[in-house]
Chain A
Amino acid sequence: MGGPEIERLIALLARLPGLGPRSARRAALKMLGEPHRHMLPLAAALTEAARAVRPCRRCCNLDSADPCTICADPARDQGLICVVESVADLWALERAAVHRGTYHVLGGVLSALGGVGPEDLSLPALQARIAEGGVQEVILALSATVDGASTAHYLADRLQGSGVALTRLAQGVPMGGALEVLDDGTLAAALRARRPA
């Protein structure tokens, strides 16, 4: 179409989540149209990020600092750890700005089909953090799926007797959610978790 360089660029872009061959071609064309404005800064940012960003050895978050900025923040409650499945979940909680403690990124959930076993999760690092002392509560903020709940039960079993309070996220009606459009599972969970008005 336009030489092997362009084909390679499109092929690499098309591998990214959210992009298919068609959208990869559009992105490539946009960048090639103004390489100094789009392409070179992007290339520099990619190189810099690949060089600097690493998993935090404490919580497994991605950051250019180790420990990450969240772990190193003195304003954060170090006794409160929110366990999440992925960095994407951590970012979602940070966007909401509702959690003022620290995090621990598990790196997935137990999944027989996905080939994810306990040894693939960053559980030893979490246990080491708890063993250091000072942790009062661990919040299991995992997805409300069969795999997510199984992982939460597994973690609860493993952390039982560690002396920290274990809590889980509530399930129920989302903000702005009309009951008539909710799925049956969410409705059932909401009804079971009802509380005094």
Chain B
Amino acid sequence: MAAIKLDGLTKVYPGGVRAVDDLTLTIPDGEFFALLGPSGCGKTTLLRTIAGLEEATSGSVRIGDRDVTHLPPGKRELAMVFQDYALFPHMTVVDNISYPLKIKGLAKDDRLGRAVKAGDELSLDGLMQRRPAELSGGQQQRVALARAIATHPQVFLFDEPLSNLDARLRLEARTFLKRLQRDLGVTTVFVTHDQAEALAMADRMAVMDAGRIRQVGTAREVFQRPASTFVANFIGSTPMNLLSGVVRGQAVNVSGQIVQLPGDARQHVTDGQDVVVGVRPEYLSLSQSAADGALRGVVAIVENLGTASLVTLESDGFTVAATVADGEEPAIGTDAWALPIPGRTLVYRREDGELVDAPVVAAVA
């Protein structure tokens, strides 16, 4: 078991693309950590650099008390599960699981013993003599996991572990992976572009963009208090309402309507400052009668989300979405008022998209 420490890690590809840009991050021992971000944000490159499949341009990677920056992947005591599993198609399941142990120099009996044990843990008994192509996607994933587990690594690295499964299986695998990680207690880093996956599985996550980390935190922190409009946009299955406005006294003027400034934000803004008000649809209560401090609009669209509906209000200059319990949807074309739940409104600076209480960082040229 070991913590992962990245210090100033940078990966520049030939041609000058900075896929990972001066990244410093500590993942404590035993944590289930997600790297989350849109395609091209550098999350997979970061994982591959930790794995040693990519050479770091500068900075260091430490696993436990060892500096592994310049070690080949096989010497880092980690196990990687690939997006397409990369099982060896010409080997049986048991050979797939035990082959890495052979490379590590284990005696034949030990190899077989460990392979069978890992196979049992992942309910692969009965499939051990099959070839990967004779298995379902979910079974293949479990073989890939068994192959990783059998080596007793210090760290697991999962690249998009659920993306090759169908939607139904994905939910099961999510629960399964989380339990497996908890049982084994091995520090695990996984890459995903699916924010719901990261929120559901990870103890903590890093939201990445353009090779940099935009926010690190628990699911709750990142969901309730996104550090920037970028994160706010990315996290949440329904996008956060981001309304441009101007500070006027104790409130923000959004295209002529008024949103109260949260108490803690007032001291960080000046009158007349351009800001963006962020509030999640889940944190807006919708009513059909006028309410103080609520945003008024005309009901334009109602989307069914299953147990709730997403109602989009249109107003002069902006649209705002709010969720309502099923059965309480207002009629299309009627007026409605969306009132922010106290303490759930966030205010961002318009110029850099950061929370107003964040320190101002000089723009990097």
Partners in one complex: no
Which A residues are within 8 Å of any B CB, using their own CB?
none
